[in-house]
A and B are shown apart, each in its own frame.
Chain A
Amino acid sequence: MITFQRIDGTPVYYWRSSRGNTTLRNWQCTQAFYDKLVLWVRDLRSLSSAYGSVTYLVSAGFYVNKPGQHGAGTAMDLDYVRWSGGQVSSPLDQHHASSTASLRKRYLAVDAVCRRRFRYALDGWYNSAHADHIHSDFGGLPVLCVKSSESDTKFVQAMCNNFRGSGLAVDGIWGTNTQNAFNGAKSALGITGDPHSSSAAWQSMLSKIATKGFANQTF
């Protein structure tokens, strides 16, 4: 395990005990996971560059002394992102369920950026335990869009609803309606290749979803 306070220079705070606290914490994770976090935050900066720089991140934990990926030091719970332009995305405030469409799109953009680097990204649609953070870990790699995955399917359904008004039930079941909506989104974004079998195709699709989400655009 390594200890860090910032990811590639961006400070990471902890707000669960005191919202707004800017005391730096000594987080831990494996070197391999930290290296992936660096790639992730660089993706985030690049895809949201119109917001300015990422001023700080807020997390609910990386290494946590419990079973599973957190206990292995290969997971992140993301609570909040703040940009220098003043924009925020707050899983902590359940922005996935916000009545403001732009906040939901921005949440999906951050979600998509997580999925570019981490296969198991568990968000507010996944279950109630993840209503207030986005969990990302090393499980299930490589990154692909897997139809049998509840997490991937719910993300696709929520994405199609929020960007394309697909009106899907977000139930994690990949049926005909979800397939048709996914095909429409893929076509609208100009994705070539198969996101179910090609990591590059899925990462390309996620980048375009993120770009649209940060720009508050439908497609």
Chain B
Amino acid sequence: MIGAAGLAAVAAVGPGAGLAAATAEVDICAGVAVVGDSPQVLCRQNSRWVLIGDDGVAKATTGLAGALVLDVATDARGALAAGSIDGEAALWSSADGLSWREVLRLHGRRSVFTAIASNPSEAMALGSDLSGEDVPQGTIAARRLGVNWSLGAVTGLAATAYVTTLAVRRGGWLAGAIGSQETVLHVSSNGTTWSELAAGRLDDAAVQGVLDDDGSVRWVGNAIGGSAALAGTVGAGRGPAGVPDRSHAVGLVRTHRGRVSYWLLDGRLQTAEVR
């Protein structure tokens, strides 16, 4: 892994965000998606969601007020986001990554969507029903075929694990679910029935991004025992991610620069090429 590079200081633009906020830090990042031609990271800055490109400029978004966004995905129609609002699982879509509209919400259901992905013909989100103590107690799944989203059942994913990453692979889908000591990667050809990927039990790793290049699965994440920044290839080991050890994995995307991982360190975004 090479090519660690800090993004330029995050500059804020847009309504109500003047130059005074030019060095403001972000507190969490939901994920990274390629919107248009370039990767964009959706982050929360001063309680507002902003979109940050490779130039480090943070642009204010609309439509996500009060939301907890946990993942974003590239979509043929722009971008998708998954999370919750008022403790209810919700999904959003956007043509440009800046203006978002809610497309699904599980009203009256204590739940959260935690991962989202799309291919040219459909989109899918996975998440969890939550207990009164806010821990996962059942997997939820939503699919978009055509225009509308609908809920469906899935099998093979642990009810008590958070699905933190979802990606498209040749002939189906790839998902990572984090338990108390490992991430288990699962594959599915139809999005409904899931099974463990061979060698896909990643001990002591909380995975936040995966890419499947014709069966070679790269991942990024953090150690569970100590949270060190990690990057690896399923079946071929792991190592330092090429960013400071305290960095928190945000996601992994394929760009014109190759495979690029995104990380959050002390409120600043970092990137590293993943070979």
Contact A16 B224 (CB under 8 A): yes
Q: How far is the CA of A120 from the CA of B164 in the complex (A)?
A: 22
Q: Is the CB of B133 within 8 A of A122?
A: yes
Determine which of A1, A26, A120, A129 lies in contact with B226 in the assembled complex, contact meaning CB atoms within 8 Å: A26
Q: Which of A43-51, A63-71, A100-108 lines the interface with chain B? A: A63-71
**Residue A111 is within 8 A (CB to CB) of chain B in the complex:** no
Q: How many residues of B contact A (CB 8 A)?
A: 33
The interface residues of chain B lying within 8 Å CB-to-CB of A14 are: 204, 224-226
Q: State whether A67 touches B162 (Cβ < 8 A).
A: yes
Contacting residues of chain A (77-96) with chain B, CB-CB under 8 angstroms: 77
Q: How far is the CB of A191 from chain B (nearest CB, A)?
A: 24
Residue of B whose beta carbon sits closest to that of A27: B226
* Cα–Cα distance between A157 and B181 once the two chains are bound (Å): 28
Shortest CB–CB separation between residue B134 and chain A, in angstroms?
Answer: 6
A115 to B137, CA, bound (A): 22
Q: Which of B116-146 contact A (CB under 8 A)?
A: 131-135, 137
Inter-subunit contact A26/B227 (CB<8 Å):
yes
In the bound complex, residues from chain A placing their C-beta under 8 Å from that of B249 are 65
Judge whether A67 and B180 touch: CB under 8 Å: no
Q: Is A65 a contact of B221 with CB atoms below 8 Å? A: yes
- The interface residues of chain B, by DSSP majority, are classed as loop
A16 touches B181 (CB 8 A): yes
Please indicate the chain B residues that have their CB under 8 angstroms from the CB of A65 in the complex: 164, 206, 208, 221-222, 227, 248-249
Which residues of B lie under 8 Å from residue A196 when comparing CB positions? none
Question: Residues of B contacting A27 with CB < 8 Å?
Answer: 226-227
Contacts of B224 in A (CB 8 A): 14, 16, 60-61, 64
A16 touches B204 (CB 8 A): yes
Q: Is the CB of B178 within 8 A of A64?
A: yes
Closest to A1 in B: B246
Q: Is A149 in the interface zone, CB < 8 Å from B?
A: yes
Judged by DSSP, the binding face of A is loop
- A32 vs chain B, min Cβ distance (A): 14
Contacts of B6 in A (CB 8 A): none
Say if the beta carbon of B196 comes within 8 Å of chain A: no
Q: Give the one of B181, B206, B245 with max A CB within 10 A.
A: B181
Q: A26-B226, A27-B226, A129-B160 are in contact. Are A64 and B133 (CB under 8 A)?
A: no
Task: For chain A, residues 26 to 41, give those with C-beta under 8 angstroms from any C-beta of chain B.
Answer: 26-28
Q: Which A residues are CB-close (under 8 A) to B34?
A: none
Q: Is the beta-carbon distance between A64 and B227 smaller than 8 angstroms?
A: yes
Question: Which A residues lie within 8 Å of B70 (CB)?
Answer: 67
Which residues of A are found within 8 Å of B164, using beta-carbon distances?
65-67
When distances are taken between beta carbons in the complex, the residues of chain A under 8 Å from B248 are: 65
Q: Which residues of A contact B11 (CB under 8 A)?
A: none
Stretch in A132-140, A160-168, A176-184, A206-214 touching the partner: A132-140
Partner-A contacts on B (CB < 8 A): 70, 112, 114, 131-135, 137, 160-162, 164, 178-181, 203-204, 206, 208, 221-228, 245-246, 248-249
Shortest beta-carbon contacts, A-B, top 5? A14-B225, A25-B226, A129-B160, A65-B206, A65-B222
